[in-house]
Copies of this chain bind each other. A is one copy, B any other.
């Protein structure tokens, strides 16, 4: 029997270990799995490498995880946020490292990691400081840099509807990094606004096939990061 549902977010993240690499879905607040991140803060794992496009907002969700000192390294494209000073302070003090990756290269590295493509040549970043330390190679007269596939121990993502098999559909631009992160992690953990039985999703419209998903937890009424930030909430 295949049923990937777990009872709550605590159970879902229970085995995330110190030193793990964790991909976290979301672009800004859209798609950010806040409840899973808060469960990870409660759970206590530390020395994490986190992959996310940003570094969170205010002092909730990803920003709260960083503020709690649990993140030793961020891999992201845009670590600045108008309303968060959490990452900048830890970065400047040297307590959190940063691997800055162009956004498209980040997405492609994650896809490659999930697809068994160990490395690829991309034109992005050629002739810029972000090319430093990377192999440059010319194909047909144009220059490219070698980028490596990126994988993770865990992915934490959010979706609109999941079925028991872990088939997922998303909501609008909250889809963003989640489908590729789901493919690149050893254990993909999903918070879903609704969970349905196999057969309730149209097989033509499934975005993430269940093979990429390991745990599904029902979070029917997730918090909005922007609302929490506006309320001045600081987690925990």
From residue A190, how far is it (CB to closest CB) to chain B in Å?
Answer: 17
Closest to A207 in B: B204
From residue A101, how far is it (CB to closest CB) to chain B in Å?
Answer: 15
Picked from B115, B121, B171, B172, the residue with its CB within 8 Å of the CB of A119 is: B121
* A59 interface residue per 8 A CB criterion: no
* A117 interface residue per 8 A CB criterion: yes
Picked from B139, B204, B205, the residue with its CB within 8 Å of the CB of A118 is: B139
A112-152 CB contact bits vs B (8 Å, 1 = yes)?
Answer: 10011111111100000000000000011010100010000
Contact A169 B117 (CB under 8 A): no
The winner among A118, A119, A171 for most chain B CB atoms within 10 A is A118
Q: Count identical subunits in the complex.
A: 2
* A170 interface residue per 8 A CB criterion: yes
Closest to A206 in B: B205
Instruction: Please measure, in the bound complex, the distance between the C-alpha atom of A169 and the C-alpha atom of B144, giving whole angstroms.
Output: 33
Contact B118 A117 (CB under 8 A): no
Contact A120 B116 (CB under 8 A): no
User: Which A residues between 102 and 119 are near B, CB-CB below 8 angstroms?
Assistant: 108, 112, 115-119
Would you mind naming 16 contact pairs between A and B with Cβ atoms under 8 Å apart? Answer: A108-B115, A108-B117, A112-B120, A116-B122, A116-B123, A117-B120, A118-B121, A118-B122, A118-B140, A118-B144, A119-B121, A119-B139, A120-B120, A139-B148, A170-B204, A204-B205
